[in-house]
Amino acid sequence: MTEKELIKEAIEARKRTYSPYSHFGVGAAILLKDGTVIKGTNIENVSYGLSLCAERNAMFSLISQGYDYKDIVMMAVVGDTDKPISPCGACRQVLAEFLKPDTKIILANLKGDFKITNLEELLPYTFTEIENV
Amino acid sequence: MTEKELIKEAIEARKRTYSPYSHFGVGAAILLKDGTVIKGTNIENVSYGLSLCAERNAMFSLISQGYDYKDIVMMAVVGDTDKPISPCGACRQVLAEFLKPDTKIILANLKGDFKITNLEELLPYTFTEIENV
Amino acid sequence: MTEKELIKEAIEARKRTYSPYSHFGVGAAILLKDGTVIKGTNIENVSYGLSLCAERNAMFSLISQGYDYKDIVMMAVVGDTDKPISPCGACRQVLAEFLKPDTKIILANLKGDFKITNLEELLPYTFTEIENV
Amino acid sequence: MTEKELIKEAIEARKRTYSPYSHFGVGAAILLKDGTVIKGTNIENVSYGLSLCAERNAMFSLISQGYDYKDIVMMAVVGDTDKPISPCGACRQVLAEFLKPDTKIILANLKGDFKITNLEELLPYTFTEIENV
């Protein structure tokens, strides 16, 4: 599967958005080694702080469905933004728990623009250490 | 599907837990009208505040996979607790966005104890109103 | 300090709201034994899930400022709602970590309506147990 | 106030930690133009996802106490880590709502190591845009 095909899957995922408060839908799609694609979308709550972004949702859904995050090949995220969408810091932190620093992350918008990046670029000097645990 | 069968699905979901910080696995399973079961498990993060509970994960995964929350029949949650596990307040709030007040929620532990409840009991005087939106 | 005076403090706290996304300001005020009042307001983020409610903010600020949550006498919360505002489930869970089940919680709106409650009523069958910690 | 003095304030803030689950205390201190220092510490919850980091707590407490985030001069964060502590992605996102890209952020540990950085370095390609709001 190509980057552009995975973006299409993310666009499909975006249609499932539950975002009655922001009206800002986001879609994410994760490709696994065997070709499986896991979708995630953003889901909001009347108590805004309980909302979950598409990227984290795709990752959490992947694990909940019994897939192995070690099989992730690449991820795509899409929103109706001017430039390719950018993952929020919380999503970067969650992805850092599961992705390799150089796993391909494709950021896209609905106009066909995209940008290929990874966590090494998105979350430099990552917090990964808890002492005394 | 009976309540006890759905608890078994939640026990299966619990095996997928990613909880290296608390070592406290939780599983959730949601039954839809057509017999489909959606699983969710708790997933933690080195930055504890970015962890997600099993209940919310099942609900968010359901929507991300393209199912309709209006088709939910009942939900089961299970953990290795002394009494049947109790959903945290954040999960109750998220469930309140999607479940009816009387949708059956089954709380269970690994010893076979269970308790049938709903959001009317779990989240009285629910926050649902935002003015000026 | 009376309940009504604490509501006034919560109304003052509400003026500090940072809520450019919901335009829904909330204020909270906590009274300590020695008469000190700690204020909290809701603070939102462009990534909605990183928003924090007023109630949690007041509690977290209290601890950050070096006060002892064991000295809490009562708490008031206010929003521009039709009926007295209701704390979201996440706030109830956080309060349950620090308040006694019968600590007085006053819910109010801007029209002068209020309702006196506590966590026993707001968060029945509270999640407090983690095994193996 | 010098960077090293602000680190001392963060070390004081760290003593207020409520972290019975991770046993990993973090302190943060924010310096305002007029010399005021606002402290924040990490506060955890039995439902891990409701925990709040020290950095966000300092920022939210600052606003709740009625201060203006536009008056922030610099911020220090400290933990008992091998290298200077690193803020999690969620904190970086929240800070990005209020700090300028070049506001000085000092990361430190208890051994006297420190690193001076800012959001431009910590959160490149920041998510700040929501369409249709």
Which is catalytic among the residues A5, A55, A120, A121?
A55
Res. B50: pLDDT tops 50: yes
Report the residue from B39, B66, B130 with minimal CB separation from A46: B130
CA distance B115 to B83: 9
CA distance C114 to C75: 12
Report the residue from C22, C122, C127 with minimal CB separation from B125: C122
Pairwise CB contact (< 8 Å): A128 & B94: no
A30-39: average pLDDT: 98
A 10 A CB-CB count for D82 gives 10
A 10 A CB-CB count for A68 gives 12
CA distance C8 to A55: 41
Res. D1: pLDDT tops 70: yes
D89-98 vs A89-98: helix crossing angle, rounded to 10: 170
Residue of B nearest to C23 (CA): B132
Pairwise CB contact (< 8 Å): D93 & A96: no
Q: Give me the pLDDT at residue A130, please.
A: 66
Please enumerate in sequence order all residues whose Cβ is within 8 A of that of A63, keeping only pairs 6 or more positions apart, or say none.
A69, B16, B18, B41, B43
Tokens representing residue C104 in the block: 């007085």
Cα-Cα-Cα-Cα torsion B89, B93, B94, B95, nearest 10 degrees, comes to 100
DSSP category for residue C18 = B
- pLDDT over 90, % of chain C: 94
Q: Indicate which of D131, D132, D133 best probes the interface with A, i.e. most A CBs within 10 Å of its own CB.
A: D131
A12-18: average pLDDT: 98
List residues in chain C touching D: CB distance below 8 A: 13, 16, 18, 21, 39-41, 43, 45-47, 50, 52, 54, 56-61, 63-66, 90, 93-94, 97, 127-130, 133
- How close is the nearest chain D Cα to the Cα of A84, in Å? 10
A55 is a catalytic site residue: yes
Res. D17: pLDDT tops 90: yes
Q: Which chains touch A (3 or more CB pairs under 8 A)?
A: B, C, D
Q: Which chains touch B (3 or more CB pairs under 8 A)?
A: A, C, D
Which is catalytic among the residues C12, C44, C55, C121?
C55
Res. D130: pLDDT tops 80: no
Rg (CA), chain B: 14
CA distance A7 to C99: 47
DSSP string across C77-129: EEES-SSSP---HHHHHHHHHHS-TT-EEEEEETTS-EEEE-HHHHSSS----
Which residue pairs from B10-14 have beta carbons closer than 8 angstroms and sit at least 24 positions apart in sequence?
B10/B39, B10/B54, B10/B76, B10/B77, B10/B78, B10/B108, B11/B78, B11/B110, B12/B39, B13/A64, B13/B39, B13/B40, B13/B41, B13/B54, B13/B58, B14/B41, B14/B54, B14/B78, B14/B79
Q: Give me the pLDDT at residue B126, please.
A: 87
CA distances from D30 to A79, C44, D4 (A): 34, 19, 13
Beta bridge partners of B40: B28
- Cβ contacts of B50 on chain D, cutoff 8 Å: 49, 88-90
CA distances from C61 to B53, D18, D60, D129 (A): 25, 12, 8, 28
Provide the pLDDT confidence category of residue B128 given band limits of 50, 70 and 90: confident
pLDDT in tens, A50-87: 999 999 999 999 999 999 999 999 999 999 999 999 99
Q: Give me the pLDDT at residue C132, please.
A: 44
Residue B28 has phi, psi (to 5 degrees) of -140, 150
D8-30: average pLDDT: 98
Provide the pLDDT confidence category of residue B46 given band limits of 50, 70 and 90: very high
Each residue of A103-130: b (16+ CB within 10 Å) or e?
bbbbbbbeeeebeebbbeebbebbbeeb
ipTM of the complex: 0.95
Q: Give the residue numbers of D annotated as catalytic, written as ranges.
A: 55
Contact D95, D104 (CB under 8 A): no
Provide the pLDDT confidence category of residue C129 given band limits of 50, 70 and 90: low
CA distance B95 to C15: 30
pLDDT in tens, C34-72: 999 999 999 999 999 999 999 999 999 999 999 999 999
DSSP category for residue B48 = G
pLDDT in tens, D77-107: 999 999 999 999 999 999 999 999 999 999 9
Q: Give me the pLDDT at residue D129, please.
A: 67
Longest alpha-carbon distance in chain B: 48
Which is catalytic among the residues B5, B12, B55, B97?
B55
Pairwise CB contact (< 8 Å): A88 & D127: yes
- Cβ contacts of D28 on chain A, cutoff 8 Å: none
Pairwise CB contact (< 8 Å): B52 & D50: no
